[in-house]
Structure 1
């Protein structure tokens, strides 16, 4: 069997590659206006911006923990959020540790897990990508059973939805959306396998 050993590229070939890269960089600089921003995730040639799931996860964690009172008897809290994305359903899901505290509960607080899925919308006034009409899809509580279980789960699901309503996933600055003399607006929002893509128009 004859093995073909790869040879190092010739100096001439390497120089050709270097020249091509230089020409490409020069053309790119000529196309982009002076002072055009170079933000990760932005593609002004295709008029798109893609926020990775990792980036969005880092942003949403900053807004937790959160808590809200219900009927002056219950305090529902959420912490340790985890973001997942459903490209097929074009939705985002936040799964978090849920706690419910009340003098009516034994033990108190009770803890569990809640998953809330949501559509997405863009709020032009604040230049932010937000959760829209979140819905609790799954809620599991530890240490509750019998007749109280369904009522406590309903309270937990209701408050979790309220806590995540209009939750910010990504905010944009005016500088990020401005190239030369053109300021872009956010258009269609599409959930992809590992991120969220928005149209720049």
Structure 2
């Protein structure tokens, strides 16, 4: 009886390994690969909280608890953060909220998917007067532009990039039916 269990377990392990190998080999099936919101979310969870210094260190912006969604029927992702702003070298505890909508683009230098044309949807900073809020909004817009330029929302796996078909390179990145689709050209 133990021998049958051993052979069954060995068979299951071999089948799982074969399936994962087949999945990796066919990742570029139809010249595309797709990612779900949970895959991108796991990447973001490992990279936050983060502090960003602005205005030569006079202002510090803390972003924490990223929440990524791919709303059905939309061609842009939604990304939300808890946010704090500190001044003169102090860090602000995340007490505010930031939400944005964005497309995605591929950057070969980082091998990652970056925000493309991010649009600020919501910006709440409790306790800030309208004057500070207006100045803070400018800082947040500057932060979004910097983040979109240099920080990937998701970095493609090196083994996937090694399997690019000959003569192909990454082209468009689309958001279709609740999935991020990376297409080859």
TM-score, normalization by structure 2: 0.70
Cα–Cα, structure 1 residues 180 and 70, in superposed 2: closer, same or farther, change >3 Å? closer
Q: 1:90 aligns with which of 75, 88, 105?
A: 75
Cα distance change on mapping 1:156 and 1:200 into 2, 3 Å:
closer
* Equivalent residue number for residue 143 of structure 2: 159
Query: Is the helix fraction higher in 1 or 2?
Result: 2
**Number of equivalenced pairs:** 164
Residue equivalent to 1:78: 63
Q: Helix, strand or coil: the match of 1:187? A: strand
CA distance in 2, matches of 1:166, 1:88: 28
Match in the other structure for 1:112: 96
Higher Cα Rg, which structure: 1
Does the aligned pair in 1 maintain the 2:110–2:152 contact within 8 Å? no
- Separation in structure 1 between the aligned mates of residue 34 and residue 26 of structure 2, nearest angstrom: 5
1:94, 1:40 → 2: CA distance?
31
- Hey, what does 1:61 align to over in structure 2? 45
CA contact (8 A) 1:83 1:95 kept: yes
SS in 1 for 2:114: strand
Shift of 1:192: 1.9
Provide Cα deviations, 1:166-201, integer angstroms capped at 9, x if missing partner.
Answer: 431333345324559747422222102322012234
Aligned to 1:13: none
Q: Mind listing any 5+ residue stretches in structure 1 that lack a counterpart? A: 1-35
For the residues of structure 1 that align with 2:163 and 2:47, how far apart are their CA atoms? 30
CA contact 1:60–1:168 (8 Å) conserved in 2: no
> 1:130 aligns to what SS in structure 2?
strand
1-structure distance, mates of 2:130, 2:103: 33
1:102 maps to what in 2?
Answer: 87
CA offsets 1:142-181 (integer angstroms, 9 cap, x no match):
1122433322333334334433544313333453245597
Q: Distance in 2 between matches of 1:118 and 1:137?
A: 10
Aligned residue number for residue 12 of structure 2: none
Structure 2: state its 5+ residue gaps: 1-20
The change in CA–CA distance for 1:180 and 1:94 in structure 2 (over 3 A counts) is: closer
RMSD: 3.3
CA separation of 1:149 and 1:41: change in aligned 2, threshold 3 A:
farther
Residues 107 and 114, structure 2, Cα contact 8 Å, conserved in 1: yes
Query: Take 1:192 and 1:53, find their aligned partners in 2: how far apart are those partners?
Result: 12
